Amino acid sequence: MTNVGNTCYLNSALQALFHVPAFVHWLCSDNSHRSNCAGVNGSVKDVCIICAMNKTFKASRKNRDTSIKPLLIYKELQFISEDLEPGQQEDAHEFMCYLLGSMKESYLTSYKDCMLDSYSMETTPLNQIFGGYIRTEVTCSQCGSVSTTFQYCQDFILDIHDTSTLDGALAAYFSEECLDGDDAYWCEQCHRKVSATKKFSLEKPPHVLCIQIKRFDIMGEKIDKHISFSLRLDLTRFLCPRSAHHGPAPLKYRLVSMVIHDGPSIHCGHYTAVAQTSMGRYYKFDDSLVQAISSSVVLGSDAYIMMYEREPAGPSVPQKSAASTTATCAVNGQKTSSSPQAPVSHKNVSVVNHRQGCGSVSPIYTCASSPSSAKGELTSSDSMAAQHCSWDKPSLGEVSPPFRQSSSKCKRPFAHKSCCPDSDVTANDMKLLEDDSKLLKSHTGNATDVESGFSDFYWFAYIIV
């Protein structure tokens, strides 16, 4: 990609995203959005961010020997965020967050008449790809009561002051904390401040794990130290104990792309990207210059943003059975774990923040599994990206949770029969799901897509009075 004026941060962020198979598969096959977006065939100023990203990606794949100018994105910087100034050096991670946020807003525009609550807005395809949930448990040292909270997390911002490895930074991120003294915990059972322990774990792991290494201090100066990492990452030890459905299958990720910053501070320097192709080769993207590099060079890089994609589970673990019990869903303003063993009490469950936040080479994607279907009309190059994508839920173009503001008296979890055959689903429950499908059909125009949306995403719900 050509640098059109201090846009190395933009070029690097786009290259990192364009080498995430699940993201590209959704971007190229989201027929739901394209059929409802008025700007698909419009002029540059009329193109929405999702459509702009789609066209930019396709342009980057047309010719291996020609770099492109990402003007469709560059010209929309002020629309993406008022904090982004054309021609000014920006932070690559900040830009990526603004970009994904703007894409989510564009996606939800099609559902503006559905009166979605804030939790349902966390279930867009982008949330499905990059998002996960962190469970926080605070245990009172006096009475032993446990307060459980959940927080949606799209990226992991890791402190590196006291470690020199990525594993060490992750261990510190999920480490147990002691609350006492000025930080004592107010226990609602004891009705006073007491000492307590706070534990963190992964309630719902993201499909694509985005990691930002905190390389800049509060003054913007660079923390210039090498953080060792591996091309594959095992997060099994950070899973919530309730996630026993994973069984022996480990929670492993592989590095698909990353962004590197060279320079003394956040205010000056240069951004480049590194990504892997289907042949296993790594390439460095330095604006319009692209060159092959070895894995040893990759491992010796001082990464700033790292994109890890989850590896598919082994053949002995059915994907749908696991997915049907892992989702944490939110409907009508309430959040719950979908584990079928027992309903989650909402008495001490809430959502809080966790630890402050939380080309000239045509990319070809590879993974062990391929989607069973792909919606939308794909070009031959798009099909190649979709064919090797590891995302195992093809209905990414649909928002699957119920949009109904229910007056039902049902207060227990229910599930689609195909998601959890052993669940106690009554005829009334199925009627409610059919009503959801009819409501969704009015917005998507395809009843089959809606029905597959429920079975593919395995969403469970609480109907709240």
Q: Say how far residue 401 (Cα) sits from the centre of its chain.
A: 17
Q: 211 with 156: CB under 8 angstroms?
A: yes
Please tell me the distance from the alpha carbon of residue 308 to that of residue 264, in angstroms, as a whole number.
Answer: 26
- Ranges 261-270, 306-315, 422-431, most confident: 261-270
Residue 439 tokens read as 């409501």
The dotted CATH code for 131-351 is 3.90.70.10
Q: Considering the chain, what percentage of its residues have pLDDT values greater than 70?
A: 63
8 noted as active-site residue: yes
Residue 274 tokens read as 């590194």
- Strand 334-337 relative to strand 328-331: parallel, antiparallel, unpaired? antiparallel
pLDDT digits (tens, 9 = 90+) for 403-433: 233 333 322 222 222 223 333 333 443 444 3
Domain boundaries, given as residue ranges, for the chain: 131-351
Angle at Cα 366 formed by Cα 238 and Cα 292, nearest 5°?
100
Q: What is the dihedral of CA 418, 422, 424, 425, to 10 degrees?
A: 10
pTM, 2 dp: 0.69
pLDDT of residue 86: 86
φ, ψ at 262 (rounded to 5°): -115, 125
pLDDT digits (tens, 9 = 90+) for 120-157: 788 889 999 999 999 999 999 999 999 999 999 999 99
Please tell me the distance from the alpha carbon of residue 82 to that of residue 106, in angstroms, as a whole number.
Answer: 16
Evaluate the CA torsion angle 49, 51, 57, 62 in order and state its sign: negative
- Strand 289-293 relative to strand 282-286: parallel, antiparallel, unpaired? antiparallel
Tell me the pLDDT band of 38, cut-offs 50, 70 and 90.
Answer: low
Tell me the pLDDT band of 97, cut-offs 50, 70 and 90.
Answer: very high
Top pLDDT among 405 and 116 is at 116
The candidate with the shortest Cα–Cα distance to 340, out of 243, 439, 257, 202, is 243
Could you tell me where the beta strands, DSSP code E, fall in 287-369? 289-293, 303-310, 328-331, 334-337, 349-351
Please tell me the distance from the alpha carbon of residue 322 to that of residue 319, in angstroms, as a whole number.
Answer: 5
Residue 228, beta-bridge partner list: 165
Evaluate the CA torsion angle 419, 110, 439, 117 in order and state its sign: positive
- Biggest CA–CA distance in the chain, Å, is 69
Residue 72, pLDDT above cutoff 70: yes
Residue 218 tokens read as 């509060």
- Indicate the range of 232-236, 356-360, 403-407 predicted with least confidence: 403-407
Identified catalytic residue from 114, 190, 246, 270: 270
CA atoms within 13 A on the CB side of 7: 23
Q: 276 with 256: CB under 8 angstroms?
A: yes
Identified catalytic residue from 8, 97, 240, 389: 8
Please tell me the distance from the alpha carbon of residue 442 to that of residue 89, in angstroms, as a whole number.
Answer: 44
